[in-house]
Amino acid sequence: MKSYDSIVVGSGIAGLTTARILSQHGKKVLLLEKASILGGSLARFRVEGIPYDVGFHFTGGFNDEGTGVLDSILSLLGVRDRIHPIYFPREANHRMIFPKSGFEYIVPCGTEIVRQQLKRDFPHDAAGLDRYFTRFMEVIDNTPTLEVSGFDEFPAPLEADRVTLQSVLDECISDPIVQTVLAGLCMCYGTPPNEASFSTHCRACYGMQESLARVEDGGDAFVDALVDVLRNDRVDIRTRCTIAKCEDVKQRKVGRFVLSDGSEVSAETCIFTIHPHSILSVLPEENTSKAFRERVRDFQATNGFFTLYGTVDEMKEKGPATLASILPDTDLNAMLTCNSSEPVDGPMMVLRSPEKGSDGPVNTVTALEVAFPQTIEHWAASKLKRRAPEYYEYKRLRTESLVSRMKQFIPECRDMHVIDSASTLTYRDYLHNPDGSAYGIRQKMGQFNLFGRLPLVNIYAAGQSAILPGVLGAMTSSFFVCRRILGHEVFREYLSGKTCVSSARS
């Protein structure tokens, strides 16, 4: 039986980050991935030679000076020079379109600039906007984990952890459009304003609000860079492989891991970076309490997306990427909750991005419409590429609806040519995620997520459902879990940049 210091389960950004931090410290690591390719939601796919991202379209955390939290994280991991951010235009970070009222609002970059612009454009809410942004910045100033130096300690609870985003909006803002402009980025973590705490919203959005960037070669840039250093660190990587069973549990410690290929390994620690419901299915029932299992089962999924991938001919030469949202309503609580088993026109984010196709530069369009698995649950038992004709009819109708709205409200998308589409079932099956959600579990106020050490002492959980979703949230969770495993002193030294980043094993 081969023995490891750590097994990391899942090769999404959280798994790759965890494996890298541990291998940087000389640990012998086994990385297990259920899919045939590495990278999880970050791996790109190609159609007709055109690259498309699945779960990485933009992020906060980079800045021009190279001092953003993501700059620092990637530097610590030794891959910053492999990742090239491309910033969205600062004056037009996000265009929000409200077809019902015929209103359109362009949100710029920079929290203070947004505050001043909103006060100018909505003077009736000026005083409330000041109150909102003061509270917003209080959360940011009291969240040390928004910088790498703060990864040393988990943030102390704040008053803003105990109030919902919606209650703060209601206290400060009377205009529903202003409320939606302020809360709209909750579509990037999938929890409605009446369920998310105010602090969750501030932490999830601050980076994107300060500077929004995509990355050259998209999610593949992260995956390729991290997989290269892991191979160099001689991390054992196995695809199409997972943990089938945890055996020999003594004093709450798993002694032996039976893998899906029949082999067995032992490890001092095992870190799951997969969906909490999938973690639960592997943990031995007799070693976890009923209360624990019920808590995990009760976690609710975030929304997923119905996605269109296409191209536009306009802007032949390289232009900047742009982000627009079409919001059928201002009520984000209703729009992020499944209220009907019939598909409805949901809010959608449309990203136009210049990419390198195999035949030269191409302008891609990715349109992500909020969607829920409940609307396609009649096909839940079906498998990829073997679904009923009615499912393809559902996809055709959704495609028609999205294209018609994009052509009507986003002039640059008038000549959009659709290349492919994905439903929540597609995401479920490609990403090996049990519910097709985009962001794992909802980050509800007062909820205890699966994060850090679990009831079995050598089993840990990280990943997008642990603290916050998104590339940054998932990576941050990996740092915290590694801190626990490596010990605070070693970790503090690592954060200071003093640890030699090349593997002690090579």
Ligand X SMILES: Cc1cc2nc3c(=O)[nH]c(=O)nc-3n(C[C@H](O)[C@H](O)[C@H](O)COP(=O)(O)OP(=O)(O)OC[C@H]3O[C@@H](n4cnc5c(N)ncnc54)[C@H](O)[C@@H]3O)c2cc1C
Stretches 137-145, 149-157, 291-299, 427-435: which one binds ligand X (CB under 6 A)? 427-435
Output phi, psi for 485, to 5 deg.
Answer: -75, -40
Orientation angle between helical segments 111-121 and 126-141, nearest 10 degrees: 170
- 431 contacts ligand X (rule: CB under 6 A): yes
The rounded distance, in Å, linking the Cα atoms of 477 and 480 is 5
The distance of closest approach from Cβ of residue 171 to ligand X in the complex, given in angstroms and rounded to an integer, is 29
The number of residues that bind ligand X (CB under 6 A) is: 38
The distance of closest approach from Cβ of residue 382 to ligand X in the complex, given in angstroms and rounded to an integer, is 19
The distance of closest approach from Cβ of residue 437 to ligand X in the complex, given in angstroms and rounded to an integer, is 8
- CB nearer to ligand X: give 118 or 433: 433
The rounded distance, in Å, linking the Cα atoms of 122 and 117 is 8
The rounded distance, in Å, linking the Cα atoms of 54 and 350 is 13
Determine which residue in the list 27, 28, 44, 57 makes contact with ligand X, applying CB under 6 A: 57
- C-alpha distances out from residue 231 to 38, 83, 134, 186, 268, Å: 12, 18, 46, 36, 21
- CB nearer to ligand X: give 70 or 169: 70
The rounded distance, in Å, linking the Cα atoms of 3 and 79 is 28
Stretches 29-37, 140-148, 175-183, 284-292: which one binds ligand X (CB under 6 A)? 29-37
- CB nearer to ligand X: give 24 or 59: 59
State which of positions 103-142 bind ligand X (CB under 6 A): none
Q: Which of 268, 266, 271 is nearest to 256 (CA)?
A: 266
- CB nearer to ligand X: give 122 or 257: 257
Residue nearest to ligand X according to CB distances in the complex: 12
- 190 contacts ligand X (rule: CB under 6 A): no
Stretches 28-36, 224-232, 329-337, 395-403: which one binds ligand X (CB under 6 A)? 28-36
Binding mask 359-398 for ligand X (x = CB under 6 A): ---------x------------------------------
The rounded distance, in Å, linking the Cα atoms of 348 and 371 is 9
State which of positions 206-265 bind ligand X (CB under 6 A): 242
The distance of closest approach from Cβ of residue 325 to ligand X in the complex, given in angstroms and rounded to an integer, is 13
The distance of closest approach from Cβ of residue 123 to ligand X in the complex, given in angstroms and rounded to an integer, is 33
The rounded distance, in Å, linking the Cα atoms of 192 and 164 is 10
Say which amino acid occupies 343.
P
Determine which residue in the list 132, 136, 309, 439 makes contact with ligand X, applying CB under 6 A: 439
Stretches 6-14, 118-126, 314-322, 382-390: which one binds ligand X (CB under 6 A)? 6-14
- C-alpha distances out from residue 322 to 57, 93, 96, 230, Å: 11, 7, 12, 33
- CB nearer to ligand X: give 34 or 115: 34
State which of positions 264-283 bind ligand X (CB under 6 A): 273-274, 278
Is residue 471 a contact partner of residue 225, using CB atoms and an 8 Å limit?
no
Is residue 421 a contact partner of residue 219, using CB atoms and an 8 Å limit?
no
- 41 contacts ligand X (rule: CB under 6 A): yes
- CB nearer to ligand X: give 281 or 404: 281
Output phi, psi for 47, to 5 deg.
Answer: -130, 130
For tokens 């991202």, the residue is 53
The distance of closest approach from Cβ of residue 368 to ligand X in the complex, given in angstroms and rounded to an integer, is 6
- CB nearer to ligand X: give 192 or 218: 218
The distance of closest approach from Cβ of residue 423 to ligand X in the complex, given in angstroms and rounded to an integer, is 11
Binding mask 441-480 for ligand X (x = CB under 6 A): ----------------------xx----xxx--x------
Stretches 62-70, 384-392, 407-415, 429-437: which one binds ligand X (CB under 6 A)? 429-437
Which residues, including other chains, have CB under 8 Å from residue 373's CB and lie 6 or more apart? 301, 304, 380, 424, 425, 428, 435, 436, 437
- 85 contacts ligand X (rule: CB under 6 A): no
Binding mask 308-337 for ligand X (x = CB under 6 A): ------------------------------
Is residue 327 a contact partner of residue 96, using CB atoms and an 8 Å limit?
yes
- CB nearer to ligand X: give 194 or 366: 366
Determine which residue in the list 56, 133, 136, 480 makes contact with ligand X, applying CB under 6 A: 56
Q: Which of 371, 370, 365 is nearest to 351 (CA)?
A: 365
411 burial type by CB count under 10 A (0-12 exposed, 13-18 middle, 19+ buried)? exposed
The rounded distance, in Å, linking the Cα atoms of 203 and 61 is 11
Q: In what order do the strands lie in the sheet with 94-98?
A: 103-107, 94-98, 322-326, 348-357, 360-371, 304-312, 417-422
**Distance, C-alpha 272 to centroid of its chain:** 16
- DSSP one-letter string for 129-159: HHHHHHHHHHHHHT-GGGSGGGGGSPPPP-G
Rule CB under 6 A: which residues touch ligand X?
A: 9-15, 32-35, 40-42, 55-59, 242, 273-274, 278, 305, 307, 368, 427, 431-433, 438-439, 463-464, 469-471, 474
